[in-house]
Chains A and B, each alone.
Chain A
Amino acid sequence: MKTLNSDNQQLFDKEIAGDDYYYLRSCIRQNFFPGAEKVFLDILTQKLGRKIIDDEHHTTCSGIGYHTDIVPFDTFQAIIARQFALMKEKGAVNAVVSCITSFGGYHEVLETWKEFPEEKRKAQENLKKATGRDFDVPKNIAHACDIIYKYRHEIARLAPYKLVNTHTGEPLRVVDHVGCHYAKIFPDKAVGGAEKTTVLTAMIEAWGGQPVNYPERRHCCGFGFRHYLVKPNRSYSISNARKKFESMQPYRPDLILTNCPGCNMFLDRWQYALAQIEGKTYSDDKNGIPVLSYEELAGLLLGYDPWHIGLQMHQVDLEPLLKRMGIAYSAEAKYRNAKGIPMTPPKFTGCLE
Chain B
Amino acid sequence: MKMVVQQLADDVRLKEGMNACMNCGICTAVCPAAEYFEYDPRSIVVAVQSGNEEKIQQLLTSDTIWMCGQCMSCKTRCPRSNCPGIIINVLRKVSQATGAFVQSRLGRQQYLIMKTIGANLLRYGYCIHPSAVDIQNHPEQGPVWEWVYSNREEVYERLGANLDREGPGAMRKIATNDLLELAVIFEQSGGTVLWQSIETHSKNKAIELGLVDSQGNPCMDLYTNYLLNEDPEF
Contact = CB atoms under 8 A, between A and B. Distances in A.
B194 A70 contact: yes
Contacts of B172: 56
Given A184-B71, A346-B146, A337 B159 contact: no
Contact of A236 (B36, B75, B137, B228): B36
Contacts of B32: 219-220, 222, 224, 236, 240
Contacts of B161: 30, 34-35, 38
A227 interface: yes
B174 interface: yes
Interface of B: 11-13, 15-16, 32-33, 35-37, 66, 69-73, 75-76, 83, 89, 92-93, 96, 106, 109-110, 112-114, 116-118, 121, 125-130, 133, 137, 139-148, 151, 154-161, 166-172, 174-175, 178-179, 181-182, 184-191, 194-195, 198, 228-230
A338 B12 contact: no
A275 B164 CA distance: 34
B178 A31 contact: no
- Top 7 A-B residue pairs of the complex, sorted by shortest distance between their CB atoms: A224-B69, A346-B147, A34-B170, A34-B161, A64-B127, A75-B191, A59-B125
Given A70-B110, A315-B144, A184 B188 contact: no
B61 to A, nearest CB: 16
A129 B13 contact: no
A229 interface: yes
A57 B178 contact: yes
Centre residue among B71, B174, B179 by max chain A CB count within 10 A: B71
B185 A126 contact: yes
Centre residue among A59, A227, A273, A338 by max chain B CB count within 10 A: A59
B121 to A, nearest CB: 6
Interface in A186-232: 187, 194, 218-220, 222-227, 229-232
B176 to A, nearest CB: 12
Contact of B116 (A62, A229, A335): A229
Q: Dominant SS at the A interface?
A: helix
B189 A34 contact: no
B110 A112 contact: no
Contacts of B174: 59
Nearest to A218: B73
Contacts of A112: 12-13, 16
A78 B188 contact: yes
Given A60-B127, A119-B12, A130 B36 contact: no
Q: Dominant SS at the B interface?
A: helix
Interface stretch (A149-157, A161-169, A305-313): A305-313
Contacts of A309: 159
Contact of A230 (B70, B112, B170, B179): B112
Given A38-B170, A56-B172, A82-B181, A69 B189 contact: no
Given A79-B182, A222-B32, A62 B127 contact: yes
Contacts of A243: 35
A337 B158 contact: yes
A38 B161 CA distance: 8
Interface string A18-58: 00000001011011101101100000000000000011110
Contact of A346 (B36, B130, B143, B182): B143
Given A27-B127, A131-B185, A229 B113 contact: yes
A233 interface: yes
A294 interface: no
A348 B113 CA distance: 31
B69 A225 contact: yes
15 contacts: A31-B128, A38-B161, A59-B182, A82-B182, A115-B15, A226-B109, A230-B113, A269-B142, A308-B158, A308-B159, A310-B159, A315-B141, A315-B142, A343-B155, A348-B143
B126 A31 contact: yes
Given A232-B229, A272-B140, A308-B158, 6 more contacts: A35-B160, A62-B127, A65-B121, A115-B16, A233-B106, A338-B157
Contacts of B154: 337-338, 343
A129 B187 CA distance: 10
Contacts of B182: 59, 79, 82
B110 A69 contact: yes
A220 B157 contact: no
A194 B76 CA distance: 7
Contacts of A344: 147, 151
Interface in A76-128: 77-79, 82, 104, 111-112, 115-116, 119, 126-127
Given A313-B144, A346-B144, A349-B144, A31 B71 contact: no
Contacts of A67: 70, 89
A343 B151 contact: yes
Contacts of B168: 54-56
Nearest to A223: B69
A56 to B, nearest CB: 4
Contacts of B126: 27, 30-31, 59-60
Contacts of A269: 140-142, 145
Centre residue among B36, B151, B187 by max chain A CB count within 10 A: B36
